[in-house]
Amino acid sequence: MQQLMERIIQAALDQGADFADLRISNGAATAIAVEDGRADKISSSRSRGAGLRVLVDGAWGFAPTNRPEEAELLHCVEDATAMAQAASSHVTDPGMVAEVEPAHGEVGKPPRIRPDQVPLKDRVARVFELERAARSYQPNKIANTVASYADGCGEMFLANSLGTLLHYESTGTSIGLSVVATDGNTRQRSADRKANRTGYELIEATDIETLGKQTAKKAVDLLSAQRAPAGTFDVIIDHRICGLLVHEAFGHNSEADAVWSGNSILAGKLGEQVAAEEVTITDDPTLPDLNGSFDYDHEGVPAQRHVIVKNGILKGYLHSLETAARFGVPPNGSARADGHQSVPIVRMSNTAIEPGKWTLAEMMAEMDEGLYLSGGGWGYVFTAQGQFTCNVEHAYRIKNGKLGTHYRNVCISGRTLETLQKVTAVADDLEFELGGTCGKNGQGMAVDAGGPHVRISQVVVGGQETQ
Amino acid sequence: MSELLDIAQKAVKAAMAAGADFADAYCLEMREVGVGVENSSLRETEVVRDYGIGVRAFHDGGVGRASTQSLQPEDVVECARSAAALAKAADPDPDFVTLPDPAEPPPVDDLFDDTVAGLEVEQVVEWCTQAIEEARAIEPGVRLEGGASLTVGSSAIASSTGIGLQRSGTSLGISFQAVVVDGEDVGVYFEYDAARLLNDFVPTGVAAKATQQARRYLGGRTVKTKRLPLVLGPLAASGLLFSCVSAAAAENIQRNRSFLAGKEGQPIASELLTITEAPLVAGGLSSSAYDGEGVPKVERRLIKDGVLTTYLHNSYTANKAGVANTAHAGRQGYRGAVGVTTSNLQVALGTRTEAELISEIDEGLYIAYGGLQPDGASGDISATVDFGFKIEKGELAYPVATTMVGSDAFEVLGKIDAVSSDYREEPGIIVPSLRIRDIQVASQE
Q: Which residues of A touch B383 (CB under 8 A)?
A: 389, 411, 462
A228 with B382: Cβ contact below 8 A: yes
Contact (CB<8Å) A230/B441:
yes
Give pLDDT, residue B112.
97
Going through B183-305 in order, the beta strands assigned E by DSSP cover: 185-195, 226-232, 275-277, 300-304
User: Residue range A360-389: average pLDDT?
Assistant: 93
Per-residue pLDDT, A377: 81
Q: By CA distance, what is A46's nearest residue in B?
A: B68
Rounded mean pLDDT of B293-304? 97
Mutate to test the interface with A, among B404, B415, B441 (most CBs of A within 10 A): B404
Q: Show the beta-strand stretches assigned E in B245-402.
A: 275-277, 300-304, 307-308, 329-331, 338-340, 345-347, 363-369, 380-384, 387-392, 395-399
Inform me whether the pLDDT recorded for A145 exceeds 80.
yes
- Do B102 and B9 lie in one domain? The reply is yes
Q: Do B70 and A387 touch (CB under 8 A)?
A: no
Task: Give every CB contact of residue B166 below 8 A, 6+ residues apart in sequence.
Answer: B1, B2, B4, B5, B154, B155, B156, B157
Most A CBs within 10 A among B378, B381, B443, B445, hence the mutation to make, goes to B378
Give how far B388 is from chain A: nearest CA, Å: 13
CB contact under 8 A, A121 and B65: no
**Residue from the list B44, B378, B406 with its beta carbon closest to the beta carbon of A189:** B378
Is the ipTM beyond the 0.90 threshold?
yes
Do B55 and B200 have their domain in common? yes
Tell whether B93 and B124 lie within a shared domain.
yes
Arithmetic mean of pLDDT, B160-171: 97
Together in a domain, B268 and B202: no
**What pTM did the predictor assign?**
0.94
Maximal C-alpha separation, chain A = 72
What is the share, in percent, of chain A residues with pLDDT greater than 90?
A: 94
Rounded to the nearest 10 degrees, the angle between the axes of helix A2-14 and helix A70-88 is: 30
Using a pLDDT cut of 70, give the percent of chain A over it: 100
Distance CA A441, CA A112 (A): 33
- What's B121's domain CATH number? 3.30.2290.10
CB atoms within 10 A of CB A174: 21
**Which chain A residue is nearest to residue B86, measuring alpha carbons?**
A42
User: Three-class SS of residue B238?
Assistant: helix
Judged by CB atoms closer than 8 Å, whether chains meet at B226 and A466 is answered as yes
Residue B1, pLDDT > 50, answer: no
Give the residue-averaged pLDDT of A217-237: 97
Q: How far apart are CA B71 and CA B188, in angstroms?
A: 44
As a whole number of angstroms, the distance between CA B17 and CA B301 comes to: 42
DSSP-H helix ranges across B247-293: 250-254
Q: Among partner residues B86, B259, B381, which is closest to A43 by beta-carbon distance?
A: B86
**Interface contact flag, B90 A230, Cβ < 8 Å:** no
Taking an 8 Å cut-off on Cβ atoms, the answer to whether B129 and A411 are in contact is: no
CB spacing of A61 vs B45 below 8 angstroms: yes
Distance from CA of B63 to the nearest CA of A (A): 5
Q: Which residues pair with A461 in a beta bridge?
A: A231, A412
In order of A42, B92, B416, the CA distances from B87 in angstroms are 7, 9, 47
Specify the number of domains making up chain B.
Answer: 2
Distance CA A331, CA A353 (A): 23
- Domain range spanning residue B196? 2-216
- Asked if B210 and B269 sit in the same domain, the reply is no
* Structural domains of chain A sorted by starting position, each given as residue range(s) with its CATH number in brackets: 2-223 (3.30.2290.10), 226-466 (no CATH)
**Same domain for B309 and B411?**
yes
Give the whole-number percent of chain B exceeding pLDDT 90.
97
How confident is the model over B221-249, as a mean pLDDT?
97
User: B193 and B308 share a domain?
Assistant: no
Q: Which of B150, B211, B148 is nearest to B179 (CA)?
A: B211
Residues in chain A closer than 8 A to B69 (CB atoms): 46-49, 66
Distance in Å, alpha carbon of A223 to nearest chain B alpha carbon: 10
A85 to chain B: nearest residue by CA?
A: B45
Say yes or no: B199 and B228 in one domain. Answer: no
Q: What per-residue confidence (pLDDT) applies to B370? A: 81
Q: Are A245 and A237 in contact (CB under 8 A)?
A: yes
Paired strand residues for B225: none
Contact criterion met (CB < 8 Å) for B47 and A60: no
Residue range A334-340: mean pLDDT, rounded = 96
Of A46, A93, A391, the CB nearest to B41: A93
Q: For residues B404 and A433, is the Cβ–Cβ distance under 8 A? A: no
Q: Is residue B378 located within the same domain as residue B293?
A: yes
A41/B442 Cβ within 8 A: no
Residues of B in contact with A124 (CB under 8 A): 89
Domain stops at, among B216, B236, B265: B216
- One domain for residues B168 and B227: no
Count Cβ–Cβ pairs < 8 Å, chain A vs chain B: 271
Domain boundary among the residues B216, B237, B268 is at B216
DSSP B374: P
User: Taking the CA of residue B94 as centre, how many other CA atoms within 13 Å lie in the half-sphere pointing to its CB?
Assistant: 1
- Across the interface, do B382 and A186 touch by the CB < 8 Å criterion? no
**Same domain assignment for residues B126 and B171:** yes
**Based on the domain organization, do B35 and B93 belong to the same domain?**
yes
Question: CB distance A41–B259 less than 8 Å?
Answer: no
Indicate yes or no: CB of B65 within 8 angstroms of CB of A458.
no
Domain final residue, candidates B168, B193, B216: B216
Nearest to A263 among B70, B179, B401 (CB): B179
Of A40, A182, A411, which is closest to B62 when you measure between CB atoms? Answer: A40
Q: How many CB atoms lie within 10 A of CB A269?
A: 15
Distance CA A115, CA A203 (A): 10
Task: State mean pLDDT over B100-128.
Answer: 95
Q: Under an 8 A CB cutoff, do A261 and B39 touch?
A: yes
Note the pLDDT tens digit of each residue in A24-81.
Answer: 999 999 999 999 888 888 999 999 999 999 999 999 999 999 999 999 999 999 999 9
Check CB contact under 8 Å for B377 and A180: yes
Interval A71-104: pLDDT, tens: 999 999 999 999 999 999 999 999 999 999 999 9
pLDDT band at residue B378 using 50, 70 and 90 as cut-offs? very high
Which pLDDT belongs to residue A347?
98
What single letter denotes the amino acid at residue A240?
A: R
A44 with B82: Cβ contact below 8 A = yes
Q: Which of B45, B62, B380 lies at the smallest CB-CB distance from A409?
A: B380
| Chain A hits for B441, Cβ within 8 Å | 230
Find which of B28, B32, B40, B47 to mutate to test the A interface (most A CBs within 10 Å of its CB).
Answer: B47
pLDDT at position A303 over 50: yes
Which residues in chain A have Cβ-Cβ distances shorter than 8 Å to B146?
A: none
